[in-house]
Every structure is written in structure tokens, then in C-alpha cells.
Amino acid sequence: MSLTERKRQLVRDELTEAALKLLAFQGFEETTIDQMAAAAGVSRRTFFRYFPSKEDVIVEFLSDLGRKLSHSLSTRPATEPPPVALQNALRVFTDTFWEHPEKSQRLANVMVSTPALLARYLERQVTWRATLSAELAVRMGVDPEADLRPAVLVAVAFAAFDTALIRWVAQGSTTDLNTLLSDCFATAFPT
């Protein structure tokens, strides 16, 4: 990566972090692009070089998590049963949230309670499901076009994750998201 690319990535990362923090603590509607730019120490014009809209700050953050999610599943031990591999791969999200639980919980609340953001999250999820279904099919040694199991397992895994996420947002920071995720997976995939 060139020096210019590294500098650009640094600005993007700082802008993303400042914007996510504002969105988490002020709310989506209450946060302006000017506030996001100012918090990162850049101009409004610079903001638009990196993000077409304030929704795209969240979308880009989710895209980064999606790439990590796919990589996480591909590196899980081959001996793990598919539900276990999926649950462990989804810890990419929960581990990221755990780094800053209060901010993450507020941001998750903003995402699930703002229709435009929820729509973008679910839009991203469609892509993640397709990618993970293909990866899971390889792990299972099946043809994803002929065998529905990988797609269904991934869909159920995301239903469990979304249920845990919504419950975590509703219950507040006293609840551990990984425990909720484990409980949801236990319900979705009884042994």
C-alpha cells in the first residue's frame, strides 16, 4: 500500500470512527454531516469524498464486518459442525461490539430503529448470506445449487444473530451479547 493510500485509509478510518460515535450517542436524525466532518477534523467536502451520505458510513462499516465474517468462516476448523462454525464466525460482530459495548449498543439501537439504516443492514445481509452459503457448501462438500442445507443453515444463523442483537439492544448493557447469541443458537440448532 502506497503512502497516499495509507493516508487515505487513515482519514477514512478516523472519519468513520468519529461519525459512528456521533450516530451512536446523538442518534441518526440528530447527527448532521457537518458534525461528522467536524468531529473528524475534515471539511464537509472531504466527507463527501469518502461517503456519499451519512447512511453510507454505516454501510461501509458493515461491509468491512462482512468481509471479516466471510474470512472468519473460511478459517474455522473443518471439524466444526456447520452451526458451530457459523456461530463462531458471527463472533466477528459480537467481538467488534464488545470492544466498545456502550457505543456499540447505542449504534445497534440506531441501526435497528432507523428504517433507512435497517433496510441497508438487511440489504448487506443478503450479500453475506450468499457468500456464507457458498463457503458453507464447500465446507459441507455439497453443491449449493442442488442442496438447500447451506442456505437454510445460514438463514437460521442470521435469524438467531438478529434475535440476539435486538434482545441485547432492548435489555441494555447489563446483558452479554455472546451469551444471548449462544442461547439463540441453542434454540435454533438444538443438539
- Residue-range domain boundaries for the chain: 1-51, 54-188
Q: Report, at the CATH architecture level, how domain 1-51 is classified.
A: Orthogonal Bundle (1.10)
Has residue 73 got a pLDDT over 90? yes
CATH fold for domain 54-188: Tetracycline Repressor; domain 2 (1.10.357)
Query: pLDDT > 90: what percent of the chain?
Result: 58
Lowest mean pLDDT among 11-15, 87-91, 102-106: 102-106
Residue 149 pLDDT: 97
Residue 44 contacts residue 6 (beta carbons within 8 Å)? no
- Per-residue confidence band for 173, with pLDDT thresholds at 50, 70 and 90: low
Residue 1 has pLDDT above 80, yes or no: no
pTM equals: 0.85
Mean pLDDT (the chain) is 91
Average pLDDT over residues 127-156: 95
Provide the b/e sequence for 155-185 (b: ≥16 CB within 10 Å): ebbbebbebbbeebbeeeeeeebbebbeebb
Q: Would 1-51 and 54-188 be classified into the same CATH topology? A: no
